[in-house]
Structure 1
């Protein structure tokens, strides 16, 4: 998809990392996540750039057309933002929101706007997300709910491809959206919106896109999969080097990839976001392609996504469904491919999400590993060993 977080795949091809591993990598640009899902299902592609929750939804049978899919690698952390129209920003600013990206104050101001509009008999604000089974949908709903709003009741949430979000904001079809870069920056630079908050503030160093692999292909081609993961690991290291940002922006801007101006790509890659006219803010962990085990497919990430599927009525919770979600993410495949390289191998396959308030050394084999901070903005934690209790607590909120 034409997004900044396709960077690892683009770089693996363009910088020769795939070729060096003996992989003939062909990249096919698509216009929607549904197209990518369907092309993987019918065998047009073997691997795909995909939203983190989508392979879980596939394996849970939430789509009529789906192939069993595994996730042997994540493609980075962070990268999303919530952008509102200029008119909505004026409303939330009048209720106390500041141009500082802080989720709590902005969310509470939005809640006051929503209540005021309801009292005036006005239609609910309409927010766009890129797919029902997306981190965007779940993190937006998490933020809104934690700030006192009821999604689908106080606000409308609709689905739209990310590249159409700025146009939808400009036309008035949307009042706000949650999407990846460069489409938030595009809305700001086109003068049609303001960035209100970011994923890196709602849940720091949280999961986003993954490498989705057809399970049958993965089983039948272990050497090819290992080689691909090694190539993507090299690409992640390259993408994480500040010295490569300008070249990376140039690669992504190509019409075959994101096809957008360099000025739309630079802010997200550098974490120096343009949040409004003449306003910038530094978000150091906005785009994390390599640090903090950014490519490791944590089973706790999979289970948090699953908990949100349950929370919003997309699937019923039971032990079998939880096991399916957990087993979709395959850290064993990541370890198999990258262990021989001497990279930092996390000692565990899951962790308590939201437990680290600062960068923290953690147990690992090979190289040393530092994780975090990874906190949720409302101070909660997600312990995958207490999944039932977490799901029950969210049902009560």
Structure 2
């Protein structure tokens, strides 16, 4: 079978299932295919040139809703990774912020704290007053966690993402070149492309995904709904192999070896020390712990609510059903049962309600979970939010 990936650290479970011989152990013959963009991943899945892929969490929701250029029902069989994204700004934009809002940068910025988006708002206002071009910020795809995280960060500073800045799309491996060339002023992307800009001295990391939405679901294992229905045993075997690879990657002793292998030209083709710096950050890359592989339907609910908030999809009454159709917790539960792994008792949880580590009951032993706070302090309760048609969601620019 053919499994696609984009060169990012969070594709590691898909790659290491091959490296560790786990595909073969589970009776699978897998050909890994490196792709250049998320639209390539989507299109090749849709027409059957790929059977499964490392995929953006919101993408199968968009294709199933028919709001993307491809209208093909797709599913998320498991989550591959939590956290791992950051927002990086160019040196030039950072200097503008230092000049316009010095109270938010330098010694005035608490160590380890994200850049307050209100500092960027000052630059936005100054550029508008002076008749200058708006700030251009990139994410990796329209229907991506990156786009929604970037919007959440901007809105926290009073910036309207659709009116005050220019948003564009750039494939992850091209972000550094676009920032260096000055075609964009900043971006939100997964690693190692933030650390790469920092190591080259061409950009500054303003905020990480942990600081915007801690324990956020980054990528999923995606396939078409039709392929999943036609190949149920193969899909469960695939989930099992990738889950075991994620557990191996979460062992601290394995991270240096993981960085070395990921750095090779076949995979990320980035220096091992750049990848290693990202992998060494506490809880910045979670591949298996904290029920990371469970495809929470409340994650799907949240992404759908953001699509409504930002005008990507019209409000509709069946959003909960769409989330259930796409985020297939039943498939993951079947695979986890065969591996003897615990699963939560419910498919949904309240998002953003845990500023500190917490414990969740499962069908086995309780599991330690990480914080899941949102930057703006919001709490998303799917039991109330998804009972609406989303017509009462805040307006697009709220």
Give the TM-score normalised by structure 1.
0.93
Tell me if the contact between 1:38 and 1:66 (Cα under 8 Å) persists in the aligned partners.
no
Q: Specify the SS of the correspondent of 2:292.
A: coil
Aligned to 2:352: 354
Q: Which runs of 5+ in 1 are unaligned?
A: 272-283
For residues 86 and 152 of structure 2, the distance between their equivalents in structure 1, rounded to whole angstroms, comes to: 14
Tell me if the contact between 1:362 and 1:369 (Cα under 8 Å) persists in the aligned partners.
yes
Tell me if the contact between 1:184 and 1:195 (Cα under 8 Å) persists in the aligned partners.
yes
Tell me if the contact between 2:137 and 2:185 (Cα under 8 Å) persists in the aligned partners.
yes
Q: Which moved more, 1:60-69 or 1:387-396?
A: 387-396
For residues 390 and 206 of structure 1, the distance between their equivalents in structure 2, rounded to whole angstroms, comes to: 22
RMSD of aligned alpha carbons: 1.5
Q: Deviations over 1:302-327 (max 9, x none)?
A: 01111111111111111124421342
Q: Specify the SS of the correspondent of 1:345.
A: coil
Runs of 4 or more above 6 Å deviation: none
Tell me if the contact between 1:59 and 1:325 (Cα under 8 Å) persists in the aligned partners.
no
Report matched runs for 1:339-378 at 5 Å.
339-378=337-376
Q: Specify the SS of the correspondent of 2:32.
A: coil
For residues 340 and 93 of structure 1, the distance between their equivalents in structure 2, rounded to whole angstroms, comes to: 55
Alignment partner of 1:88 is 2:99: no
Aligned to 2:160: 150
Q: Specify the SS of the correspondent of 1:374.
A: coil
For residues 220 and 63 of structure 1, the distance between their equivalents in structure 2, rounded to whole angstroms, comes to: 24
Q: Specify the SS of the correspondent of 1:353.
A: coil
Q: What is the Cα deviation at residue 99 of structure 1?
A: 7.0
Aligned to 2:58: 53
Tell me if the contact between 2:316 and 2:390 (Cα under 8 Å) persists in the aligned partners.
no
Q: Which runs of 5+ in 2 are unaligned?
A: 1-5
Tell me if the contact between 1:361 and 1:368 (Cα under 8 Å) persists in the aligned partners.
yes
Tell me if the contact between 1:92 and 1:106 (Cα under 8 Å) persists in the aligned partners.
no
376, 379, 395: which is aligned to 2:377? Answer: 379
Alignment partner of 1:26 is 2:31: yes
Aligned to 2:134: 124
Aligned to 2:271: 261
Aligned to 2:3: none
Alignment partner of 1:305 is 2:303: yes
For residues 225 and 292 of structure 1, the distance between their equivalents in structure 2, rounded to whole angstroms, comes to: 23
Q: Deviations over 1:163-195 (max 9, x none)?
A: 111111111100000001111111111111010
For residues 184 and 211 of structure 1, the distance between their equivalents in structure 2, rounded to whole angstroms, comes to: 23
Give the TM-score normalised by structure 2.
0.93
286, 289, 295: which is aligned to 2:287? Answer: 289
Aligned to 1:67: 72
Alignment partner of 1:211 is 2:221: yes
Tell me if the contact between 1:99 and 1:196 (Cα under 8 Å) persists in the aligned partners.
no
